[in-house]
Amino acid sequence: MAASTIAKFSDELTSAAAQAGQSVVTVFARRRIPSSGIYWREGVVVTAEHTIRREDEIKILLPDGKRVDAQLAGRDPGTDLAVLKVEKDKAAVPQFGDPAQLKLANFVLALGRTRAGNLVASSGIIGGIGGEWRTWRGGRIDQSIRLDLELYPGFSGGPLVSAEGKVLGVNTNGLGRGRAVTIPVATVNRTVDELLKKGYIARPYLGIAMQPVAIPENLRGKLKSPRSGGLMVLHVEGGSPAEKAGIVLGDTVVELAGKSTLDTEHIRGLLASAKIGDAVSATVLRAGSPVEVSIKLTERPAR
Q: Which residues are catalytic?
A: 50, 80, 156
User: How remote is the C-alpha of 43 from its chain's centroid?
Assistant: 22
User: How remote is the C-alpha of 99 from its chain's centroid?
Assistant: 17
Category of 133 on φ-ψ map: left (φ > 0), alpha (ψ -120 to 50) or beta: beta
User: How remote is the C-alpha of 233 from its chain's centroid?
Assistant: 27
| Contacts within 8 Å (CB) and 24+ apart, 9-15 | 12/163, 13/109, 13/123, 13/163, 15/165
Category of 136 on φ-ψ map: left (φ > 0), alpha (ψ -120 to 50) or beta: alpha
* CA 277/CA 206 separation, integer angstroms: 12
Looking at the DSSP assignment, which residues form a beta bridge with residue 48? Answer: 81
- Exposure on the CB side of residue 97, measured as CA atoms within 13 A: 21
| Dmax (CA) of the chain | 78
